[in-house]
Amino acid sequence: MARLLTLVSLLFLSLSSTAVASSSCVAFDSSWNLYAFGFNGKDYNAGTMDTWSSGTPTEITASGRPPFDGTNTTCYLAQFFNAIYVMNADSSNPSNVYIYDVGGKSWSTQATTPGSFDLSDFDAILDHDTNVFYALSKGELFFLSFDGITTSAKSDAIPWTDVQKAPYPDGYQPVMALAQNHIHFLDVPGTAAGSADIFVIHFSFFQPDAQPYGDFPATHGQTTSIFLSESNQVQQEFAFIPDDGSKTYIINVESNTTQSLAGPTNKDAAATYFASDSAIVQFTSSGQLSYIPYKTGGDTSGSWTTIQKLTSVAPTSSGSGSGSSGSASGTSTARGGSSTGTGGSSGSNSTTSNGNGAMGVAERSVSVVFGMGGALILGTLAVLLC
Ligand SMILES: *[C@@H]1O[C@H](CO)[C@@H](O)[C@H](O)[C@H]1NC(C)=O
Ligand SMILES: *[C@@H]1O[C@H](CO)[C@@H](O)[C@H](O)[C@H]1NC(C)=O
Ligand SMILES: *[C@@H]1O[C@H](CO)[C@@H](O)[C@H](O)[C@H]1NC(C)=O
């Protein structure tokens, strides 16, 4: 029996993790409710951190959503507008950015014109105060301005605009993080451990010298900006989790110091992260969700805990709790740093949802179906074994 269970779970992990988790994403809204998008064809609101230890999330699947059949899907919070922007969620229309209006519980679709920007290979942040995305792709920095977009799309396509070539060596795999409206580039070849290279958004300027921030390794990893509790304040810190998951570094760009929290329990170089003002959430490539409590400048003694409320709906689905085998091998996917929204309001023209109705199950490949079936079998076996 145990052997069968292992077999089933291995099959399950190998078939479903790659296809599903990288097509899904998690994000917070401006009230720090945690959202899970593209989980087996549905979207959920898991509520605030105090409710994650049990219960079930609220399904919010609505028309106009993307099919969540893309690769390296990423979500970004525009904090000022309480809107979540989603990239790479529609394999048929890769240049579309989908906008979820949290207040209206509705979707709209923003067309973009990529030009030379490669949507299959980039890392991006959403600047907090300008609502402009910046992305590094193949060594070139681009921006996509959502200034004026707020909570719904406009009818005109928005261009991805080439800013300039980044002054970093060819082949640099971007590790980008946003704080104080500065983009911090970690792991730039030739830059010392503990230092970041900086692009100053407001002056569209790459700082010539790296900035020392304390003690963190010069290695590839994932990042997420940490929001502040005070409403709409720009982030002052970001988390950096190296690919080996050994620690969770918190880099403060005001004090120029780094603290560390426990490394995530699930070591997964392909995991992605999204922080609120009080928690950092990890979403692994096999669909597991956990979090560590942390507030800017606060207690660093927290530990990582599974988000139970999402386990029954997560892409790996409920069986995984019993799960033998380690972390999913899977493919991967570095999804971009997270982050945030902006100042200034401005007219929001509403509009546009493409006709993709709810559930994008159709093209979503057999593996998902199998994955769900596998999860059921797994769950059943787990019950039998108990
Ligand atoms: C997904 O991201 C990974 C890591 O950046 C990259 O190697 C891969 O080519 C991307 N795949 C697609 C289809 O975008
Ligand atoms: C952090 O470094 C910057 C750039 O060197 C400097 O302007 C700032 O004063 C430093 N902050 C502190 C608190 O030392
Ligand atoms: C925005 O809305 C205004 C008023 O409804 C309309 O005149 C204008 O054409 C719209 N612009 C776009 C880009 O949709």
Buried b (16+ CB within 10 A) or exposed e, 339-356: bbbbeeeeebeeebbbeb
The pLDDT, as a whole number, for residue 301 is 96
Closest-approaching ligand to the CA atom of 196: 2
Residue (of 235, 306, 215, 220) closest to 275 by Cα position = 235
What is the model's pLDDT at position 303?
Answer: 98
In 3D space, the residue among 181, 234, 221, 190 whose CA is nearest the CA of residue 208 turns out to be 190
**303 CB burial (10 A radius; 0-12, 13-18, 19+):** exposed
- Which pLDDT score, from 0 to 100, does residue 230 have? 82
The ligand minimizing its distance to the Cα of 207 is: 2
Please give the average per-residue pLDDT across 254-275, as a whole number: 98
> pLDDT-based confidence at 315, cuts 50/70/90?
confident
- Mean of the per-residue pLDDT values of the chain: 82
What whole-number distance in Å separates Cα of residue 259 and Cα of residue 368? 39
- Per-residue pLDDT band at 185 (split at 50, 70, 90): very high
Note whether 106 and 352 are within 8 A (CB): no
Give the gyration radius of the chain's Cα atoms. Answer: 20
Residue 81 CA to ligand 3 center (angstroms) comes to 19
Residue 96 CA to ligand 3 center (angstroms) comes to: 20
Pocket test for ligand 3, best of 349, 350, 351 (most atoms within 8 A of CB): 349
8 Å CB contact between 123 and 135:
yes
- 3-state SS assignment for residue 122: coil
Say which residue, 136 or 6, is predicted with more confidence.
136
Least Cα distance to 107 among 125, 130, 90, 122 occurs for 90
Q: Give the pLDDT confidence score for residue 215 in this predicted structure.
A: 97
Q: Which ligand is nearest to the CA of 256?
A: 2
Lowest mean pLDDT among 75-79, 100-104, 283-287, 367-371: 367-371
Spacing, Cα 326 to ligand 2 middle (Å): 42
- Looking at the CA of 253, which ligand is closest? 2
Point out which residues pair with 45 in neighbouring strands. Answer: 35, 58
Pairing of strands 112-113, 182-186: unpaired
Who lines ligand 3 at CB under 6 A?
A: 154-156, 349
52 or 330: whose pLDDT is higher? 52
Looking at the predicted structure, is the pLDDT value of residue 127 above 80?
yes
- Reported as a single tens digit per residue, the pLDDT across 55-79 is 999 999 999 999 999 999 999 999 9
In this prediction, residues 182-200 reach a mean pLDDT of 98
Q: How confident is the model at residue 84 (pLDDT cuts 50, 70, 90)?
A: very high
Locate the ligand 2 atom nearest the alpha carbon of residue 255 and give its number.
13
Determine the average pLDDT of the residues in 155-178.
Answer: 97
CATH architecture of 23-365: 6 Propeller (2.120)
Distance from residue 345's CA to the centre of ligand 1 (Å): 34
Among the listed residues 379, 264, 374, the one whose alpha carbon sits nearest the alpha carbon of residue 311: 379
Residue 268 has pLDDT above 60, yes or no: yes
Compute, in angstroms, the gap from residue 183 CA to the centroid of ligand 2: 16
Q: Is 256 in the pocket of ligand 2 (CB under 6 A)?
A: yes
* Structure tokens that stand for 251 in this block: 């880099």
